[in-house]
Amino acid sequence: MIYVGIDVAKDKHDCCILGSEADNLYPVFTIPNNKAGFDELYEKIFSVTDDMTEIKVGLEATGHYSLNLLGSLIDKGLATCVINPLHTNLYRKGLSLRKTKTDKVDAGSIAMMLMTDKTLKPYSDTSYHSEELKSLTRYRFDKVQERAKLKTSVTRLINILFPELEKLVPNLHMASVYALLYEFPGASYIADSHLTHLKNVIETASKGRYGRDMAVTLRNAAKDSIGSVMPAKSMELKHTINLIEVITGEIDEIESSIKSIMDANNSPITTIPGINYRMGAMILAEVGDFTRFSNADQILAFAGLSPSTYQSGQLDSCHSHMEKRGSKYLRYALFNATKFVCHWDETFRAYLSKKISEGKHYNVAVSHAAKKLIRTIYRMELTGEVYRK
């Protein structure tokens, strides 16, 4: 076997090629992150052997820096393992007591890991092609978080400019309220507005739900408002509302692309009550190829949902906390999807109630239900069966 360890960086990659006896077939070398560098790497690999089954390549999961190289290796048909940097770091420390950390040392450590750790599995085509779905779901996650922060800013600005408004409408973050505040960004603007114009704005934005009576109520409240008259804050409010609408449009476009991919995948995960295509896509994208996990518990560990363990001598930890390592996106998706599934499915709802009746905190009970859910999803994805209660 030939083991190739690659330490990935932005502009260059350090490579180590080992034989079956851990002998260096080439001195550790550096290639540039371009086509010429990739060609140099393949030339040296194939100069040792032409048998693809005898070559195993490993590199760290270093975010977007490794994507181009990973795609090139998979296109060449080389078995490539993507390794958690925490794993390689611990392995390197276990090789020596000395504090030695360089790119060339890391490349050698990765090659040695490939040789000694038989649990490492090659990155599959399924995982590689799910990168687009992963990119979309993570992009949507960030956009939703960004929009949530802007909505908080809107609430803050309304409390300054027109605090009475919050008690006059069901929700501040409605299309009709945004249209009103964009046209009249403050109590003073509403108080000085023409009643007919005010009525037309809210009637159009609410699609007829609000009319003249609401316009009168708003203007009377605005006249008696304690809100500050601050043009700078009013301008900030208008700009913030505009940003929210732009981001909402972007989120809709992202979700349309996610739905197209999910429809093409035809995954049974969406047959589980409470899991829609958005949350289902996030789970599928983060897990990737389910066959690379021997059991569902490995997916729990990958998400960081498994409890930490500490036992030494007579000491045995009895209040273990969640590890919270691995994919935070998968952890978020599983935990929140479980809440919806427990609401819509009576089997999971009963299981959650059982855990709560045992004295467990709600979040702890949800984490137990999440374990049950991921075992269900794991089985469904391997067999292709739809959900059955």
pLDDT digits (tens, 9 = 90+) for 288-335: 888 888 888 888 888 877 655 444 455 455 455 555 666 788 999 999
For 251-297, the pLDDT digits (tens) are 999 999 999 999 988 899 999 999 999 999 999 998 888 888 888 88
Residue 51 belongs to a domain: yes
First to last CA, the chain: 47
Residue 254 belongs to a domain: no
* CATH classification at residue 43: 3.30.420.10
Residue 283 to residue 289: CA distance in whole angstroms: 11
Taking the model in full, what pTM does it have? 0.77
For 47-105, the pLDDT digits (tens) are 888 888 889 998 887 778 888 888 888 888 888 888 877 777 766 666 665 566 676 88
Q: What domain count does the chain have?
A: 3
Residue 74 to residue 131: CA distance in whole angstroms: 13
Residue 136 belongs to a domain: no
The mean of the pLDDT values for the chain is 87
Residue 258 belongs to a domain: no
The pLDDT of residue 310? 46
Q: Are strands 55-60 and 79-83 parallel, antiparallel or unpaired?
A: parallel
Name beta bridge partners: 2. 55
From the list 383, 172, 139, the residue with the least C-alpha distance to 278 is 139
What residue numbers bound the domain in which 298 lies?
A: 266-383
Residue 134 belongs to a domain: no
Residues 233 and 325 in one domain: no
